[in-house]
């Protein structure tokens, strides 16, 4: 994943320069959604001019409507569009004999027990990378920037580290902990009572990871965000055990590069006057928009 850092830094500088020139932005639309999607396309070896199409599919598959409602038909339509794209792209590359660059090209040579991996398995892998790797990073960045835009001391702390060329990795860990966006679903395998609640076999239980991360039983003071100590608390933002997020390494690099690059160029900013960003809750917690202004050096 470290091999992607130079391109991440380059793309971050490009996006932030354009935003700074305008003097204002909707951080979600203009930065948070765009950066990880561009990196996804480059990682997969897909044309960057597909960006608008993938951003639209991302909204359909992963985000609620403007009214905050998750529309199953809309989501399924977005997912089917992604599946159809990768089915066609894999078939095209198979037929032409040209694998191309990037992860998708490498996937075409994968084998399972000495047998070429079936195309359906490759499509499923591409869909998983799309679903798991885009919205989570975008919303983690958005919640982090909302916090920094509304907490001047923390914003100045991160901007100072970035200006000095120092690592902000500890700050990223604390922001990930305090604003963990995923909710993990698990199915109950046998009847059991937990905390006075009767659970039945087959029930679906949803675990907002942020609740665990803010639990005082995990670490003292867990229900407060602290960027000043330089000692980030342990957290479960990427899950744990055998199902721990495979993309955590890339996500951390994206967060660090994006926040450092922004604060080197735009250390001062604030929420647009009379604006109250609206959050939504689902498999991934998110923010509809994050209007920022008052850029300064």
* Domains and their CATH numbers in the chain: 2-181+244-296 (1.10.630.10)
What pLDDT is recorded for position 249? 92
Q: What sign has the CA pseudo-torsion 261, 265, 270, 271?
A: negative
Residues above pLDDT 90, as percent of the chain: 80
- Read off the pTM: 0.92
pLDDT of 297 over the 90 cut: no
Q: What sign has the CA pseudo-torsion 98, 104, 106, 111?
A: negative
**Alpha-carbon distance 36 to 8, whole Å?**
9
Average pLDDT over residues 171-187: 94
What pLDDT is recorded for position 230? 66
**Alpha-carbon distance 36 to 209, whole Å?**
22
What pLDDT is recorded for position 67? 79
pLDDT of 174 over the 90 cut: yes
What are the distances in angstroms from CA 200 to CA 185, 207, 283?
15, 16, 22
Q: Given pLDDT bands bounded at 50, 70 and 90, which one contains residue 233?
A: confident
**Alpha-carbon distance 286 to 293, whole Å?**
21
Burial 145-174 (b: 16+ CB within 10 A, else e): bbbbbeeeebbebbbebbeeeeebeebbbb
**Alpha-carbon distance 80 to 127, whole Å?**
10
CA atoms within 13 A on the CB side of 205: 17
Average pLDDT over residues 133-149: 95
pLDDT of 88 over the 70 cut: yes
């Amino acid at each position: 994943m470290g091999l992607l850092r130079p391109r991440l830094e380059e793309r971050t500088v490009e996006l932030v320069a354009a935003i700074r020139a305008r003097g204002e932005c909707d951080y979600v639309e203009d930065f948070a959604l765009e950066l990880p999607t561009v990196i996804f396309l480059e990682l997969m070896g897909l044309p960057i001019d597909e960006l608008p199409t993938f951003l639209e599919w991302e909204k359909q598959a992963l985000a609620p409507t403007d009214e905050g409602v998750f529309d199953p038909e809309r989501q399924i339509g977005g997912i089917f569009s992604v599946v159809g794209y990768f089915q066609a792209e894999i078939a095209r590359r198979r037929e032409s004999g040209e694998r191309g660059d990037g992860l998708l090209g490498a996937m075409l040579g994968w084998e399972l027990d000495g047998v070429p991996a079936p195309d359906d398995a490759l499509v499923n892998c591409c869909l998983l990378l799309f679903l798991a790797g885009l919205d989570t990073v975008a919303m983690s960045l958005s919640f982090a920037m909302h916090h920094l835009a509304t907490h001047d001391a923390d914003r100045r702390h991160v901007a100072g580290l970035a200006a000095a060329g120092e690592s902000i990795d500890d700050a990223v860990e604390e922001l990930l902990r305090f604003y963990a966006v995923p909710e993990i679903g698990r199915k109950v395998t046998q009847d059991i009572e937990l905390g006075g609640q009767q659970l039945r076999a087959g029930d679906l239980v949803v675990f907002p990871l942020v609740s665990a991360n803010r639990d005082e039983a995990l670490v003292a003071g867990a229900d407060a965000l602290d960027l000043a100590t330089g000692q980030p608390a342990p957290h479960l933002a990427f899950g744990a055990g055998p199902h721990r997020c495979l993309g955590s390494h890339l996500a951390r690099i994206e967060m660090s590069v994006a926040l450092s690059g922004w604060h080197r160029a735009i250390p001062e900013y604030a929420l647009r006057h009379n604006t109250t960003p609206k959050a939504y809750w689902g498999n991934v917690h998110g923010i509809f928009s994050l209007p920022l202004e008052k850029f300064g050096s």
